Amino acid sequence: MRKIIVNERQTGLMFNNGRFVKVMDAGKYILMGGKTAEIFDIREEITPSAIDIDSLVVRPEADLFFDVVKVGQGRLALRYLNGIFEGVLTPGTHAFSKKAGTNEFKVFDVTTKVAPDFPTELFDKIDPDLYRRYSVQENKKGVLYIDGKIDGVIDSGDYFFWNTDKDVVIDTIDMRLTPMTILGQEVMTVDKVPVRVTFVLNYKIIDAIGLVTSVKNYEDQMYRIAQLALREIVGRRKLDELIEDKDGITGFVFDKMKEKCREFFIEVVDAGVKDIILPGSIRDIMNTVLVAQKKAEANVITRREEVASTRSLLNTAKLMEENPTLYKLKELEYVERICENVGNINIGSSGDLLTAVSSIIGKKS
């Protein structure tokens, strides 16, 4: 004989030699002979060891004491007690005591995607082995693949998928304006000069699905388009034409890239030639030519100034020849300059230069 007490926060199941007898409400019980009991907290799931749960819930009195939910394969249920989330129920039969209050169950399919009406805020409260979490950053889009097939495009944000045997992959694609540099393409000009051309551009993706379905590696493809366009335009020009007409090269390559990249849903926004690098020997020759040109320009300017100066002197001489007073004023101007820069100069027995000059100035014409 054993004495069992079931309190208000508990419910019990009585068995006799392994057979279910009844549900034990709060109170004191005497167990005799082959009788046994299992006690459960009223908030917890009823999980008897002496009887299969499916055999228990089909008994006529089960509806009076238990709230029961059957969760099928590929599904799970959220349990709420009095409106408050209590936990997740996996496939199987689950029973809970009605003494705790109102049990509510929401069943969801968990084959792959999380249903739109699933409360995603609960993922922090359930077993992380049940789901997988993915994030798509701001200004990006995600191409969703399920078992290798495109399922659609998703915007930035957090996404949850049930942890099943399905293979889920999200390929993120940056939708912002993106720079690209086509580095140092070595091309031979029409006059057999090897040059290295660096080209830059800005592009943006306009359709993520169109992009991934039309081309495997779009950056490699863009690189090749630019390379071929540069080879085509540079290979048709001489070195001098190449250096003088960068805008023409830019326009040609830009138009080619806009046309070709549009086929796989990329818009080339702008582009330009960044550098044209010449071989060392060609740079030395061009530097020599440039120095010679500048020297020739300097010589021309010098000769022009000399001619202008000589012409000015000739005009001055003619004026002084025609006007003695002007000649005298010019003499005085030079005397003044001498006086500013010279002290005393002795010229033999005739006295110093300034005295001689003064006597010359003092004479009448």
pLDDT of residue 288: 66
Does residue 75 surpass a pLDDT of 80?
Answer: yes
Q: Are 42 and 61 in contact (CB under 8 A)?
A: no
Q: How many CB atoms lie within 10 A of CB 274?
A: 16
pLDDT of residue 306: 76
Amino acid 34 reads G
Residue 16, C-beta contacts closer than 8 angstroms, at least 6 positions apart: 33, 34, 35, 36
How far apart CA 38 and CA 8 sit, in angstroms, is 15
Q: Are 178 and 172 in contact (CB under 8 A)?
A: no
The lowest-confidence range among 93-97, 151-155, 342-346 is 342-346
The answer to pTM > 0.75 is no
The lowest-confidence range among 166-180, 266-280, 313-327, 332-346 is 332-346
Q: How confident is the model at residue 76 (pLDDT cuts 50, 70, 90)?
A: very high
Nearest alpha-carbon partner for 274 in 167, 176, 200: 200
Q: What angle do CA 143, 145, 151 make, to 5 degrees?
A: 80
Query: Could you give the residue ranges of the DSSP H alpha helices within the chain?
Result: 53-57, 62-65, 208-214, 218-234, 239-244, 246-261, 280-322, 324-341, 353-362
pLDDT of residue 60: 86
pLDDT in tens, 191-245: 888 888 899 999 999 999 999 999 989 999 999 999 999 989 988 888 888 888 8
Residue 188 bridge partners (DSSP): 194
How far apart CA 2 and CA 6 sit, in angstroms, is 13
Q: Are 277 and 185 in contact (CB under 8 A)?
A: no
For the chain, what are the domain ranges?
2-106, 124-174, 178-278, 323-365
Average pLDDT, the chain: 85
Report the CATH superfamily, name and number, of domain 178-278: Band 7 domain (3.30.479.30)
Amino acid 114 reads V
For helices 324-341 and 280-322, the axis angle rounded to 10 degrees is 120
pLDDT in tens, 307-365: 777 887 777 777 777 777 776 776 677 666 777 666 665 555 455 555 565 565 555 44
Q: How far apart are the first and last CA of the chain?
A: 164
Q: Where are the beta strands (DSSP E) in 74-232?
A: 75-81, 84-89, 92-97, 103-109, 131-136, 140-146, 149-154, 157-162, 168-174, 178-188, 194-205
How far apart CA 159 and CA 200 sit, in angstroms, is 36
pLDDT in tens, 101-148: 999 999 999 988 899 899 999 999 999 999 999 999 999 999 999 999
pLDDT of residue 109: 93
| Residue positions counted in the chain | 365
